[in-house]
Structures are given as C-alpha cells and as structure tokens.
Chain A
Amino acid sequence: MITVKGVSKTFRNETALDYKDLEFETGKSYMLLGASGCGKSTLLNMIAGILSPDKGEISIDGRAMSSASQKEKDKFRIEKIGFIFQDFKLINEMTVADNINILRLEGVDTSGMDELLERLGISDKKNKKVKHLSGGQKQRVAIVRALVKSPEIILADEPTGNLNYAIGEQVIKELTQAAAGKTLIAVTHDERLRPYFDCVIDMNDVTGTPYDVAGGKAVD
C-alpha cells in the first residue's frame, strides 16, 4: 500500500503543488491522467524517492519515505521499484543487454532478461546498440529493465509519450500484462488507455490544477 498524505511540493519557479491524500493498493494498476504541470510525474518521482516532498508524507507499506536517508532511498528504488521513464533513460551507445545488465552494479539478478525480451518481442535486439532501435523498441527495453528485477512497484512516466497511439496501446497492453499482480502506477495523457487499468485518477482533481481540456494544458 502506498499512501500520500498532506504532500506539497514547491519548485524553483515557485510552482506549488498541494496533493490531496491518496492511496494506491498493492497489486492494482493505476492510471494517472492529467495535463502537463499538474503534478503527475512529480508524484511518481516522490514515490520513487527521487524527489522529496516539502510537506506531508509518502509511505510505502507503512514505511515513511521522507525520513529515509538517500542511501536507503537508493536501496529501496533498486530493490522494490521499477521506473519506466518517458525518455527511456537508456545509454544509446550501449547494447540492449548492457543497458539492462547495468543493474548488476547493484547486485540485481538480471537472469530473467531473455524471457522478458522474448515476451516483449525484442529478443533479436538484445545485442543491438540502443541508438539503432525505434522509439517503441526503446520503450520496451526500458520496460524490460524496469521489470527484470521483479519489483513490487512499477512506476511508468508517460510510457507512451513518444509513441503513436497504436504502438503506445501495444506497449501499455504488454506493460499491464507483464506487471500483473504488482502495483503499477502509470502516467499518461491518453484517456483511450483507460481500459487497461484497474483505477484511473484525474490528477487535476488531486492537485486542484485547472484543466484546459481544449488545449490539453494546465492553466494558472
């Protein structure tokens, strides 16, 4: 169970986000909808321990993240969380296998890599350099890297943001299947992907950010 209680975060540009209290149940998949700037990615980063809230508390299975040291957060992130980034966060000059095996630096067992690459249909790309892959293939590599350590929580920040709808839908389908039984929180703009998730949260409501539906952007 992930709980978000009384959390607020202010950025250097003085944008302030005050989150309503939230709870994410273990084993369920959540879709966070909302316009850019409404705090979706910030929430994922705070859950992952990459950012710290200015106020309030995020706790995971009763353990408060804000009181954890950076070392503990790193350990938690490498052991419990699989994070899929919108811009993949892959080393382009390295092969798919090397990008996944990088986790071995922290002692992560990556023996399940071949099976995951097979399931996501990119096993033939294992020894290809990432720079030679398409956007969809890169996203799948990022998913494999997130899932290979069998994390309890999967956080996906706009996993379809760089993909067209058809490929994006395929990626979401594969991601939700691969994440079955785990807690999945995925940020996306695309409401058409709702059917693949157990719950949908409108982040505009959570942070009280006005939503300009026509423009698809948050307005001050």
Chain B
Amino acid sequence: MLSFALKNMAVKKVQVILVVVSIVISAGVAVLAYNTANQVRDGITNTAGWYSAIIGPTGSKTQLAMNTMYFTDDPLGTIPYSVVTELQRDSRVKRVIPYAMADNYNGYRVVGTTSEYLESKKVALGSMFDDSGVYEVVLGAGVAKVCDVTVGDDIFTSHSAGEEHTQPLKVVGVLEETHSVYDRVVFTQLKTIWEIHEHEHEEGEEEHEEEHEHGEMGNMVCAAVVTTQNPAYAMTLVNDYNGKIISDEDGDSFTLQAIEPMDTVRSILEEADSTKYIVYVLCAIILIMNVMVISIITLLNMYNSAKEISLMRLIGISMKKINLLYILQNGIIGIISVILAFAVSKACLVFMDGYASSMGVVLDTAKVYPAEWAILALVFAIAVLPTVVCTFVMARRDGIEE
C-alpha cells in the first residue's frame, strides 16, 4: 500500500507540492513566531537573571532595573559607595559591582563600573581598562565606529547640558560588536566618574548645578549590582536592603531600594508586553487559515479523485482500503510538511538571531518549546483530518451503485 500511495502521490505531484508548501509556510510561520517571541521574552528575563539583586535609590523599580541593565532612562539618583562596601562584607554576597551613569560622549552614555561588569563581553581591540587606574575608557563597538575613535585616542565627555569636561579620557579598548545596547555605551572606571566630577567641582561654580542633577558623584554610585552566593539569598538580601536608611560621611540620609531584577523585568513584560498575545492570535489565525486551505485543497483533491475512487470500487477494492490509502497519502504529506516546517522555522531562527541580538538576546536554534510540538501535531492532524472526514463520508455513501 505504501508503494502504491507513493506512486499515486508522484502522479499528483503538483497538488502534493502545493499542499506541502501551504502547510510548510503556515506551520513554519506559526512555530517561528511562537518560538521567537518566547525566546526573546525568556532572553530578556534571563539577562536580568545574571544578577541576584540591584540596590539603588528609591523610586521606580522599572527605572532602576532598565537603567542598570539596559542603560535606558536616567538613573534614579545616587547612593553612597559605602553601600557597596557593606555588601562586600555580607556573607550572602558573592560579588558586588558598583554602577554609575554620568555624562555622555557624543550622546552615548558613559558608565562607570568595574571590569567585572563587562566580563561576559569580549574586547576586540586593545584591552579592558585597569580597575586600579583612572581616565581609561572601553568603547562599545558602535561608539568607536560612529565616532571614528580607536585605541590610543583621547575623548572628552560632556555634561548632559552639553558642556565638555576638560579632562581627556584614553581609549584603551573597543568591545566586540554584540548588536546589543552594549555597542552604544562608553565604559570607564568608577574612579574616572568620581575624579572628573571632583576636578570640575574644584574648577568653578558652574559645576554646582551638575552636581544637583546627578547628585554628588564623589564616593557615590547610582546602583550596586549584586550576585549572591546562593539564589535563595537574593530574597532575604532584597528584604534587608529595601527601605533601609543609611547615612553618608556628611550625615545625609539615603533610603535604599532593592529589587530582584528578574522579577521586575518579568512583571514589566507581563504587564506591558502584549507580544505574547499578538503571537498567540497570529498563530491562531494562521492555523485557522491552514485548516481552511488544507481542507479546501483536500476536498478538491478528493473531488478530483472521485473517478479514481469509483474505479477502484468497481474493480473490487474495498472502501476500507481506499480510506487507508488516502489517509496514508495525506499522512505522508503531513509528516513531510511538518518536518519541513520545523526545519524551515529553525533555519529562519538562525537568520533572525542577528535581529534579536540587538535586544541583547541570543536565539537558541536548538530551543524547542512544548507548544511547538503541539502546533506541529495540530498541523499534522489538520493535514489528515479532512481526508478522514471525506473518506468517512464517502464510505457511508459508498457510491458504488450509480
């Protein structure tokens, strides 16, 4: 029967190809849309998962998370560096990275931190800045390219108001292009941020406004990014630091805010991101169209096959065998289509990886969500079901008596 089914399909190769192409396109798009949307979503959440907690000034949780991890929006303000040293002494803490955002270079944000903040990034040219040094910068690939700056050059950063600092910063390295926000940021030692602002403060009164704008940057940071020894410690750490009031050397009080970045980002996505629902609706529309297209093609095929079926009945082939033959044929078409749809969706995922990385997300082509199998199984059912229905109807009518 398999041999005859294959021969019969070869005879109707144009129809078979049309059905396969229609299934591959619709199922491929549905699977790809679902996979990409979920991987981007998971990727954004997972990026947040690199850190156990972020501790900064009070204000919007979203702003603190987005500014510290994705360099968007302005910092909420500053907190004393003593928070960082206190965290370093905390036995629950594995690592603390200070984070300060101030000034810009040709519109690109300048971030003062330690080299640990960039440990997952590769340096394409030169080297990473020396944590014990000062006035050294490592540029994101996009900054170096657009501003035509390379290792060994001096750059001058500016206040947000546009006034240029007089202290030159030496470019010691350029990061490898990541197609992410890191390409558009200038990184330097935390000390550089402090020194520039200290230097400017000594130079004149005009600095006064800037200090108010950014807060007092000397021995201040915008946030402390924390990784705990154990993920379970994150919650207690956040509980301990959230709302905690500390004082700096001058006796000024600061109220801290502590967040678990993964939870914050996840809640942002759940509250604001309608992509998931759009993808589900799109998948549903595609699958409904798939049902209609495949049903119509199957019905037309079966209509065209009516003569062939009648012929087989006349020479004594039972309706049961005819049903099995057509179900087998459509089953083969369904399996081939589903395999191709899966392969096509994965191939497209490779191409889409470049675009997704601009959001800081690397798409995993090997990643398959259980729902994808469900979609493919549904598509397979859609490919076979109309035939089963048609043959069932024909079997009931049996149409041999003309």
Query: Is B4 interfacial (CB 8 A cutoff)?
Result: yes
Q: How far is the CA of A56 from the CA of B351 in the complex (A)?
A: 73
A91 touches B311 (CB 8 A): yes
Pick the interface stretch among B32-40, B261-269, B317-325: B317-325
A89 touches B315 (CB 8 A): yes
Pick the interface stretch among A27-35, A71-79, A111-119: A71-79
Query: Is A51 interfacial (CB 8 A cutoff)?
Result: yes
> How many A-B pairs with Cβ below 8 Å?
61
Interface of B is mostly: helix
A94 touches B11 (CB 8 A): yes
Query: Is A152 interfacial (CB 8 A cutoff)?
Result: no
Partner of A85, one of B308, B314, B318: B314
B residues in contact with A71, CB < 8 Å? 318
Query: Is A93 interfacial (CB 8 A cutoff)?
Result: yes
Q: Given A52-B401, A83-B315, do A91 and B308 touch, yes or no (CB 8 Å)?
A: yes
A106 touches B317 (CB 8 A): yes
A residues in contact with B344, CB < 8 Å? none
Query: Is B1 interfacial (CB 8 A cutoff)?
Result: yes
B residues in contact with A102, CB < 8 Å? 4, 312, 315, 317
Which bucket holds chain B's interface residue count? 20 to 34
- Closest CB in chain B relative to A15 CB, distance in Å: 14
Q: How far is the CA of A171 from the CA of B253 in the complex (A)?
A: 112
- Closest CB in chain A relative to B399 CB, distance in Å: 11
Closest-by-CB residue of B relative to A77 is: B316
Which residues 78-107 of A sit at the B interface, judged by CB distance below 8 A? 78-79, 81, 83, 85, 89-91, 93-94, 98, 101-106
Q: How far is the CA of A155 from the CA of B368 in the complex (A)?
A: 59
A residues in contact with B400, CB < 8 Å? 50, 70
Query: Is B398 interfacial (CB 8 A cutoff)?
Result: yes
Closest-by-CB residue of A relative to B401 is: A51
B317 touches A105 (CB 8 A): yes
Residues of A within 8 A of B (CB): 50-52, 70-71, 74-75, 77-79, 81, 83, 85, 89-91, 93-94, 98, 101-106, 145
Can you list 29 A-B pairs with a CB-CB distance of less than 8 A?
Answer: A50-B314, A50-B401, A52-B401, A70-B400, A74-B317, A75-B316, A75-B318, A77-B315, A77-B316, A78-B315, A78-B318, A83-B314, A83-B316, A85-B314, A89-B315, A91-B11, A91-B311, A93-B11, A94-B7, A94-B8, A101-B4, A103-B315, A103-B317, A105-B1, A105-B4, A105-B312, A105-B321, A105-B325, A145-B315
The 3 nearest A-B residue pairs measured at CB: A78-B316, A77-B316, A93-B11
Residues of B within 8 A of A (CB): 1, 4, 7-8, 11-12, 308, 311-319, 321, 325, 398, 400-401
